[in-house]
Amino acid sequence: ALFASFFPTQIAGPIKRYQDFMPQLSNDKKFDVSMIEQGLGLIIFGLFKKVLFADNLAVVVQSAFSRPDLLGGVDLWLCVYAFAFQIYFDFSGYTDIARGSAQLLGYNVPPNFNLPYLASSITEFWHRWHISLSTWLRDYLFIPLGGSRGGKLLTYRNLMITMVLGGLWHGAALHFVVWGAYQGLFLMAHKEFKHLTDAVPTLAALKAGKLFRVLSVVLTFHVVCIGWVFFRADNFQIAASIISKLLFLDGFPAAGHSLSVALSLVNTPDPLIFMILPFILLLLVAGQILSGALQSASKPIVVPFGLKAVYIAVLLSLLLVFSPDTSPQFIYFQF
């Protein structure tokens, strides 16, 4: 009963495993200052990502996806980028709040994100994005279906079924099914590409280079972004029309199509945010370091308590100043 009703992770994860959670019940719960410090830090950092980034980006995203007919391909690309970071900051912010809340109670919940937009392939992306869901799909769908034990065709079948069901889990609608199938197709394409590079020494050498890594990260990010259109759009028809514009299948946009037209329909974010954006991004990187995402396991960075306190105070000040008038619910609450 406690496992099922553990409130920090009950609504939107991270998905916890019984076998990982229950051993923590046998540990004597004692007041631990470090757990309190880490928990509060995660909660405030999660709010920082949700309110300053996700909620302000939501203004742009909502205006674009509600009237995509007003925009051309270039403007829509900017809006798709905005949604990519909105959903990341929204969901990873929620995860930080959930993990921090659990730590206040003396429980450790594993990280659910590991800088997913730095992935160099769609396979690596799913190792970094919503880790608890991707491992759950692997262990409870892909492997029971047969995994990769039955040859290439059966492996690809199992992979596609897993991803389509993963899409269907998000909602019983065609655009979610297409989103899952889209992910499955690119996962299969990456496996084929990996087989090719392993078989051709020249390609293997090229793949090992830093330039290839950078180009792979950029390409993977854009593949993911196109997939997010199916995820975010209200239905498949709207998603298809947006993607046709993103790929300029309808031609290049006319001069009258402008992002400012759509943004004029709603209240835009506080312009001061854009003026201090480099400082805010620096705080975001610092938060990733403090939370361990950018730290080296061999040489962890030890941050003095006083510096942490100053950092938290700055985050709270920014939250008070730049919180939007309304804060939409977390995206994954609907799932």
pLDDT for 231-283, tens place per residue? 999 999 999 999 999 988 776 655 445 555 555 544 555 666 666 777 888 88
* Residue among 127, 170, 190, 222 flagged as catalytic: 170
What pLDDT, on a 0 to 100 scale, did the predictor assign at position 144?
96
At residue 265, the pLDDT reads 45
Residues of the chain with pLDDT under 50: 255-256, 265-266
Positive or negative, the CA dihedral 207, 210, 215, 219 is: positive
The pLDDT value recorded for residue 4 is 85
Report how far residue 235's alpha carbon sits from residue 161's, in angstroms, rounded to the nearest whole number.
21
Question: What pLDDT does 280 receive?
Answer: 83
Distance of CA 69 to the CA centre of its chain: 27
The pLDDT, as a whole number, for residue 2 is: 84
pLDDT of residue 230: 96
Residue 124: the pLDDT is: 96
Residue (of 299, 294, 180, 166) closest to 230 by Cα position: 180
The DSSP-derived string for 182-204 is HHHHHHHHHHHHHHHHHH-HHHH
State the average pLDDT for the chain: 86
Q: What is the pTM of this model?
A: 0.89
Q: What is the DSSP string of 55-90?
A: IHHHHHHHHHHH-GGG--HHHHHHHHHHHHHHHHHH
Rounded CA Rg of the chain: 21
In the chain, how long is the greatest CA-to-CA distance? 66
CA distance 202 to 103: 49
pLDDT in tens, 263-276: 554 455 566 666 67
Choose among 61, 50, 132: nearest CA to 94.
50
Q: What is the pLDDT of residues 19-36, one digit of tens each?
A: 888 888 888 878 888 888
The answer to whether residue 170 is catalytic is yes
